[in-house]
Amino acid sequence: MKLVKSNKQKTYEHIFKAAKENDKQAFRDLFLRLHDRDQHEVFHLLYPDKKRKISDFLTPEEFAEIFEWMETEDQEAAVQYLPDAYMAEVFNTMAADDVARFLAESEETDNQTLLDMMDEEESQRVQEIMAYEAETAGSIMTKEFIAIQNKESMAEVVKRLRKIGREAETIYYLYVIDDKERLVGVLSLRDLLLSPEDEIVEDIMFNQVVSVKVSDDQEHVARVIQDYDLLAVPVLGFNGTMQGIVTVDDVMDIIEEETTEDFNEFAAISRGDEDRRKPSPLSTAKSRIPWIVVLLFLGMITGGLIGIFEETLESVVLLAAFMPIMMGTAGNVGTQSLAVAVRNLTIDDDRDKDSFFQTIKNELGAGMIMGLIAGLVMIGIVVVIYGNPVLAFIIAVSMFITVSLATVIGTTIPTIINKFKIDPAVASGPFITTINDSLSLIIYFTIATMLIEFL
């Protein structure tokens, strides 16, 4: 591994030297041997004055492969210091959806200037995608797909594929349309290659095509591709005409973005759209302040509960030693159930009442088992260390009830919130933890107060 890394670093140094000496041929010979991902890394490491030379060293088609790997901020920088005409050619080479995504996310780029410099057909494709509502199938689809006529022969399809195949995002699926450009079927590359040349497309194609509408949410598109194990899914207009495709690599990006967004909300650190790319300390604090205020008030309730049971604590000070264990266990168990509930709601929007109660039943059952085991463990620890079987009994019973109820609370709250059309991920971990802290203290001190005379 060290040898590979050393050779890679040595190659990078030769490329940097070639850029410094303006040795175009040496730069190209070394640079173009690298994987696209490594090319991006080399470009990122170049000094700004060397990056400006890239338009002399690489063709727009070659640089387009690097540009697609970049983060939006790096893409913006490249647009700023590379010639507009060069970048226009880069955008002409790229898939329309990738260009549209960059222009939509960029705050520093003069979009209209670049669109006007692009080829008219490519510019129209990009503008069409940008016209769709954000986070819909239309806004993430690519226009680079292969459509064939249902009356064509296999020989005609092969001839066309050889001619335009390089322009498509994927050639594994060939989408069959009629004379009105409506999707009527799909032909796989395998079926094309294994069928006789004189066979007609409509006799071979698969006509039960899974598709999505341009207005469908991107998460729905991701689930369709995942559920049907597709490499791409066709996107249809409202009249059934073929508008584009969404490929599995785009879906992977969507899943990552949505998962990150849900995780941030789950942890009560969600940010606004304008802050996600360049968060500042002020914007980060602003997004978290409401949660902090809510949790402060909930925390005061927890503190008040301790005050209510002050006499019990004064009578048996040892009870205080097990408060963190009780609260921590309840909070952790509740957060685990919350994660399960949010996941179930995210992957299945059509869950019925029976499914909801089944989830609660399963979580309650798991909670009771975990509570029983945790209680038995605490009995052993308390009896051995403190020699107090009554205290052990109080802690064990409290642990059993608290853990059992914590799983139900963690499951129920996101489901209730979802019924009000609010993202269930906002039922964050800290919120559930604080609720379960209060619940665990009430149960713990109530049982302790009832048995105080035996302690």
Structural tokens at position 311:
């006499």
pTM comes to 0.61
Contact 175, 147 (CB under 8 A): yes
Can you tell me the mean pLDDT for 232-258? 86
pLDDT number for residue 3: 46
Higher pLDDT, 109 or 352: 109
Residue 187 binned pLDDT confidence (cut-offs 50, 70, 90): very high
Q: Is the pLDDT of residue 32 over 60?
A: yes
Q: Could you tell me which of 94, 132, 131, 133 has the C-alpha nearest to residue 114?
A: 94
pLDDT tens digit sequence for 90-99? 999 998 888 9
- Residue 126 amino acid letter: V
Specify the residue for token string 């909670």.
367
Percentage of the chain exceeding pLDDT 70: 84
Q: Is the pLDDT of residue 144 over 90?
A: no
pLDDT number for residue 402: 94
Q: Is the pLDDT of residue 189 over 70?
A: yes
Contact 426, 414 (CB under 8 A): no
Structural tokens at position 84:
């507009």
Can you tell me the mean pLDDT for 230-242? 92
Residue 1 binned pLDDT confidence (cut-offs 50, 70, 90): very low
Q: Is the pLDDT of residue 57 over 90?
A: yes
pLDDT number for residue 437: 86
CA 3/CA 438 separation, integer angstroms? 57
Strands 242-247, 232-236: parallel, antiparallel or unpaired by DSSP? antiparallel
pLDDT number for residue 312: 81
pLDDT number for residue 404: 94
Residue 293 binned pLDDT confidence (cut-offs 50, 70, 90): confident
Specify the range with the lowest mean pLDDT, choosing from 375-384, 391-400, 446-455: 446-455
Buried b (16+ CB within 10 A) or exposed e, 318-353: ebeebbebbbebbbbbbbbbbbbbbebbbeeeeeee
Q: Is the pLDDT of residue 138 over 80?
A: yes
Which residues, at least 6 apart from 292, have a Cβ–Cβ distance to it below 8 Å?
none
pLDDT tens digit sequence for 351-361? 555 677 888 88
Structural tokens at position 77:
């920088």
Contact 118, 125 (CB under 8 A): no
Can you tell me the mean pLDDT for 191-218? 93
Residue 376 binned pLDDT confidence (cut-offs 50, 70, 90): very high
CA 165/CA 251 separation, integer angstroms? 22
Residue 374 binned pLDDT confidence (cut-offs 50, 70, 90): very high
Q: How many CB atoms lie within 10 A of CB 386?
A: 12
Residue 317 binned pLDDT confidence (cut-offs 50, 70, 90): confident
Angle between helices 353-386 and 323-347 (to 10 degrees): 160
Can you tell me the mean pLDDT for 134-157? 92
